Amino acid sequence: MRILVDQNVPLAEEFFADLGEITRMPGREMTREAVRDKDVLIVRSITPVNAELLEGSRVKFVGTCTIGTDHVDLAYLRDKRIAFASAPGSNADSVVDYVLSSLLVLAEEEDFALARRTVGIVGAGNVGNRLWQRLQELGARCLICDPPRADAEGRSDFVDIDTLIEQADIVCLHTPLVRDGDHPTYHLMDAARIETLRPGTVLINAGRGACLDNAALSHRLESRGDLRTVLDVWENEPAIDETLYSLVDIATPHIAGHSLDGKMRGTELIYQALMEHFGLPARRKLGQIKPEPWLHKVVLTAWAPPLEALALCVRACYDVRRDMVGFERYRRRLGMATAFDRYRAEYPVRREFSTLRVDLKKNNAGLRDVIEGFGFKLKLAGK
């Protein structure tokens, strides 16, 4: 069997080598010629998978090691009877880590307490739901907007997006990119909605770039400069708008989900789906292959103020400023589009909060819920 794999998919050799010959290639360089004689195609989000790529090829299985599937023409695959799998939930915790790390940076700069803010979460799927759970541990009030779920589950505790925008101090976008149907998300945050954001609102997009009208946001930031913004996803990646980039507070090149844990989980999910497709037992397990994190534990030896201790753990594990500064360094050297892709390809190792154990004394009970709720492992030691 011949398998073509994006070069940014970790552990492909460990998972797939027994199945056949693996060829690696940058996702943006995958052409019809490159896939023609392959049986299996394993991509990430930057390869458009459609008739143009696959027509006339032998490909019988396509796997994307990502949550998002907007780069895949699913109707075409169905029509051609090409099996397909994605990796739902694989890097959702990494995205939540990214959002929380960003919020802690802004809370520190602006001197606000997250617990006293209203956070609006647009899209309450794997990412949004986990963010909701973790924020509740901090005591933050959350407003949830997810019309497809509201319809399907008959939920009356969800709000519509305009109510959310009106009431939230922090607006987090975690929607997939959907262009049609009852609940499209293309430019869900359009010029009119961007204009109605209250001065001082924090706006975060870690879903897909085109869920937010980038030109309209650029206009609002240039003309009024009264929002705090965190953008991980952009329209026209990797050649993103330089002006918008310069106006955003935390600007990163689509790496919110790029923890090693998230990416490895994505590979494992596609391996499992591929084995199932071919009726083979999935003997390889991520737990047997996964490297140990560099930082295994943080020990808090005495009582500590909960929020300060939490911020310390977050920074020890993943500080979003590392990526902001790293991306800017690459951009100055390579120019925007090359830097965008190169930083992701050479992404420094990052582990999820869940890989860090926090040791607490028993008398530090106030911290217990916050640390656990934020996703860290907890160990209680005697007084």
Ligand X SMILES: O=C(O)[C@H](O)[C@H](O)COP(=O)(O)O
User: What is the greatest pairwise CA distance in the chain?
Assistant: 68
Does the annotation flag 31 for ligand binding? no
Give the separation between CA 208 and CA 178, rounded to whole angstroms: 10
> Per the annotation, does 243 bind a ligand?
no
Q: Do 315 and 302 contact (CB within 8 A), yes or no?
A: no
| 237 a catalytic residue | yes
- Please say whether the beta carbons of 49 and 77 come within 8 A: yes
| Residue in the block written with tokens 């999910």 | 269
CB of 53 to ligand NAD, least distance (A): 20
Evaluate whether 271 touches 286 at the Cβ level (below 8 Å).
Answer: no
- The CA distance from 65 to 267, in Å, is 6
Tell me which residue of 87, 347, 90, 95 sits closest to 207, measured CA to CA. Answer: 95
Stretch touching ligand X by CB under 6 A, among 62-70, 146-154, 294-302, 358-366 = 62-70
Is 66 among the residues that bind ligand X (CB under 6 A)?
yes
Question: What does the block give as tokens for 13?
Answer: 């050799």
Give catalytic status of residue 219 as yes or no. Answer: no
In angstroms, the CA 206 to CA 232 distance is 5
C-alpha–C-alpha distance, residues 240 and 244, integer Å: 8
DSSP letter for each residue of 313-354: HHHHH--THHHHHHHHHHHHHH-HHHHHHHHHHTPPP---GG
Structure tokens at 332: 């100055």
**45 marked as part of a ligand binding site:** yes
The only residue of 91, 175, 214, 259 in contact with ligand X, by rule CB under 6 A: 91
Judged by CB under 6 A, the stretch of 250-258, 301-309, 327-335, 355-363 that binds ligand X is 250-258
* C-beta closer to ligand NAD: residue 49 or 122: 122
Quickly list DSSP for 238-259: TS--HHHHHH-SEE-SS-TT--
Q: Which is nearer to ligand NAD, 146 or 268 (CB)?
A: 146
62/159 with CB nearer ligand NAD? 159
Map the footprint of ligand NAD across residues 88-107, applying CB under 6 A.
89, 91-92, 95
Q: What sign does the CA torsion over 186, 173, 198, 315 have?
A: negative
**Closer to ligand NAD at the Cβ: 35 or 318?**
318
Query: Does residue 8 bind ligand X (CB under 6 A)?
Result: yes
Q: Is 183 in the site for ligand NAD (CB under 6 A)?
A: yes
Q: Residue with the closest Cβ to ligand X?
A: 44
- Is 345 or 381 the residue whose CB approaches ligand X more closely? 345
Examine the residue annotation and report whether 130 is marked as an active-site residue of this protein: no
By CB under 6 A, residue 217 contacts ligand X: no
Pick the piece of the chain touching ligand NAD (CB under 6 A) from 112-120, 169-177, 301-309, 343-351. Answer: 169-177
Q: Does 111 show up as a binding residue in the annotation? A: no
In angstroms, give the least distance from the CB of 329 to ligand X.
20
Q: Nearer to ligand X by C-beta: 307 or 337?
A: 337
Task: Please give the Cα distance from 354 to 134 (Å, whole number).
Answer: 12
Beta bridge partners of 84: 62
The SS3 call for residue 20 is coil
- For the beta carbon of residue 56, count every other beta carbon within 10 angstroms: 9
Residue 63 contact partner, candidates ligand X, ligand NAD, none, CB within 5 to 8 A by sort of partner: none
Cα 36–chain centre separation:
31
Where does this chain bind ligand NAD (CB under 6 A)?
67-68, 89, 91-92, 95, 122-128, 145-149, 174-176, 178, 183, 185, 188, 206-208, 232-233, 254, 256-257
* Binding residue ranges for substrate: 45, 66
Where does this chain bind ligand X (CB under 6 A)?
8, 44-46, 66-68, 91, 254, 257-258, 344
* Binding residue ranges for NAD(+): 146, 175, 232, 257
By annotation, the residues acting in catalysis are 208, 237, 254
